[in-house]
Amino acid sequence: MSSRVPDVTCDVAIAGGGPAGNAAAITLRHHGASVLVVDPGRMPRWKPGESLAPAARALLARLGVLERISAGPHTPCLGNQSAWGRNTLAESDFLFSRYGAGWHLDRVLFDRTLTDAARRAGARELTGRVGAARRVCGQWELAVGARTIRARYLLDATGAAARLARHAGATVTRTDRLVAVAALLPSGASNREVPRTSLVESAALGWWYTAPLSAGASVVMAMTDADLVARHALHTPEHWWKHLMATTHVRGRVRRVVPLQGGLRVVRAATSCTHPAAGPGWAAIGDAATTSDPIAARGILTALATGITAADAVHADAAGSSGALEAYAERIVSTHQEYLHARRICYGSEKRWDTPFWNRRR
Ligand SMILES: Cc1cc2nc3c(=O)[nH]c(=O)nc-3n(C[C@H](O)[C@H](O)[C@H](O)COP(=O)(O)OP(=O)(O)OC[C@H]3O[C@@H](n4cnc5c(N)ncnc54)[C@H](O)[C@@H]3O)c2cc1C
């Protein structure tokens, strides 16, 4: 008896079921394509990236999930506070944004909402990891465990490693070695006083960030370069606390608890760009195409936007518009250049520290 696992055939195979992969899946289903989303399906208890910019509203509406996200339990983010370039707090208020408030997300639930929406739109799912991708006679053959997936188009939505884009011949350029040393903490505020803003504060070895997660909890992150984590032993709770307690504003948002809940997590947050971000029959989307410094708080927005745009480009390409994927790749380059310019201005406006972290960014 044969134990051969049947092959799967589809118009578009999407590797990665994060926001980018699911935004693409929903959009392609709206275009009538048959779609398979492959993801290991191991949802973590916590995933970084909880501030969603107000500008995401239009994208969520196009994907048909705006009402669901607005219904909660995500909480409104009314703006940002920052002590950057000076010790006092400046506020940017989303009240004056043409989009209204943003969100402090329950990130795991947010990702699950998009997965559910893709499923309801008719995308098929396969639990697993795409191991290898090769192009045979104008089609993709992907290995997922013992299975072979055959697809006309491949979207790499696997996150910053962009493994499948590399299989397709692209290179990933990183411009820094930024990492987050993060902890989840009970909030310093009572439930009724939970802040509705995120808070950023610069310090000699980088910058601190905190935002409310769900009732009574906050995420607190020290952002610095990977080598500086080791140099300052920032991965040890003792030193992390010492640096946190030296802040002026962020320390006021937390309550001291030892040991830290779940310990400290060191997460890569480097800026990168994939060249090219698309080619014949494929495109990289979300972090697989371009990643940005969390100071920009735009990773999820970019994941949704690139997922939708690349899906539109695939649809156009299938209908005979030969320049659509190339135009998508050019757009990734130009938006990444604009972001790098904005990042230089942002870091250049903090002039108080003569330390490696800041000097590397000037
Ligand atoms: C410290 C930190 C803080 C951040 N803060 C913010 C923020 O406040 N706001 C914001 O908007 N963004 C933020 N971001 C960025 C944001 O989280 C990402 O940009 C976003 O998750 C990208 O979505 P994605 O779908 O491209 O990738 P991901 O969300 O990483 O999803 C990729 C998926 O692909 C799967 N996968 C991986 N390899 C394979 C494979 N071989 N085959 C199949 N599946 C695979 C993974 O399991 C995962 O499910 C932050 C990032 C970091 C690191």
Which of 140, 154, 158, 290 is the best mutation target for the ligand 1 pocket, counting ligand atoms within 8 Å of the beta carbon and taking the most?
158
Q: Per-residue pLDDT tens, the chain, 362 aa: give them.
A: 445 666 899 999 999 999 999 999 999 999 999 999 999 998 777 899 999 999 999 999 999 999 999 998 998 898 899 999 999 999 988 777 778 889 999 999 999 999 999 999 999 999 999 998 999 999 999 999 999 999 999 999 999 999 999 999 999 999 999 999 999 887 655 555 667 889 999 999 999 999 988 656 789 999 999 999 999 999 999 999 999 999 999 998 887 655 555 689 999 999 999 999 999 999 999 999 999 999 999 999 999 999 999 999 999 999 999 999 999 999 999 999 999 999 999 999 999 999 999 999 98
Does the C-beta of 19 come closer than 6 Å to ligand 1? yes
Does the C-beta of 107 come closer than 6 Å to ligand 1? no
- pLDDT at position 256 is 63
Measured from the Cα of 130, ligand 1's closest atom is: 42
Does the C-beta of 114 come closer than 6 Å to ligand 1? no
Does the C-beta of 59 come closer than 6 Å to ligand 1? no
H/E stretch holding 278 reads strand 278-279
Buried b (16+ CB within 10 A) or exposed e, 201-222: bbbbbbbbbbbbbbeeebbbbb
Measured from the Cα of 182, ligand 1's closest atom is: 1
Side chain identity at 12, as an amino acid letter? V
Separation between Cα atoms, residue 199 and residue 323, nearest integer Å: 43
Q: Please name every residue paired with 272 in a beta bridge, in sequence order, or none if there are none.
A: 174, 291
- Which of 315, 241, 260, 258 shows the shortest CA–CA distance to 283? 315
Does the C-beta of 157 come closer than 6 Å to ligand 1? yes
Does the C-beta of 17 come closer than 6 Å to ligand 1? yes
Measured from the Cα of 298, ligand 1's closest atom is: 11
- pLDDT at position 258 is 52
CB 99: neighbour CB atoms within 10 A?
12
Side chain identity at 199, as an amino acid letter? L
List C-alpha distances in Å: 1 to 4, 316: 9, 44
Q: Please name every residue paired with 149 in a beta bridge, in sequence order, or none if there are none.
A: 8, 142
Are residues 69 and 176 in contact, defined by beta-carbon separation less than 8 angstroms?
A: no
Instruction: Say how many Å lie between the CA of residue 106 and the centre of ligand 1.
Output: 14
Pairing between β-strand 197-203 and β-strand 79-83 as defined by DSSP bridges: parallel
- pLDDT at position 215 is 59
- pLDDT at position 216 is 66
Does the C-beta of 112 come closer than 6 Å to ligand 1? no
DSSP labels, 185-221: EEBSS-GGG--SEEEEEEETTEEEEEEE-STTEEEEE
Tokens of 130: 């795409």
- pLDDT at position 3 is 52
- pLDDT at position 2 is 45
- Protein residue closest via CA to atom 19 of ligand 1: 299
Sign for the CA dihedral angle at 169, 170, 173, 179 comes to negative
Are residues 75 and 50 in contact, defined by beta-carbon separation less than 8 angstroms?
A: no
Tokens of 334: 């130009």
Tokens of 38: 């492959």
- pLDDT at position 97 is 75
Separation between Cα atoms, residue 104 and residue 214, nearest integer Å: 8
- 173-215 pLDDT per residue, tens: 999 999 999 998 876 555 556 678 899 999 999 999 999 886 5
Phi, psi (deg, nearest 5) at residue 133:
-135, 130
Instruction: Say how many Å lie between the CA of residue 312 and the centre of ligand 1.
Output: 21
Angle between helical axes of 19-30 and 56-63 (0-180°, round to 10)? 50
Are residues 142 and 130 in contact, defined by beta-carbon separation less than 8 angstroms?
A: yes
- pLDDT at position 168 is 93
pTM tops 0.85: yes
Helix count (H) and strand count (E) of the chain?
Answer: 10, 21
Instruction: Say how many Å lie between the CA of residue 23 and the centre of ligand 1.
Output: 13
Are residues 188 and 46 in contact, defined by beta-carbon separation less than 8 angstroms?
A: no
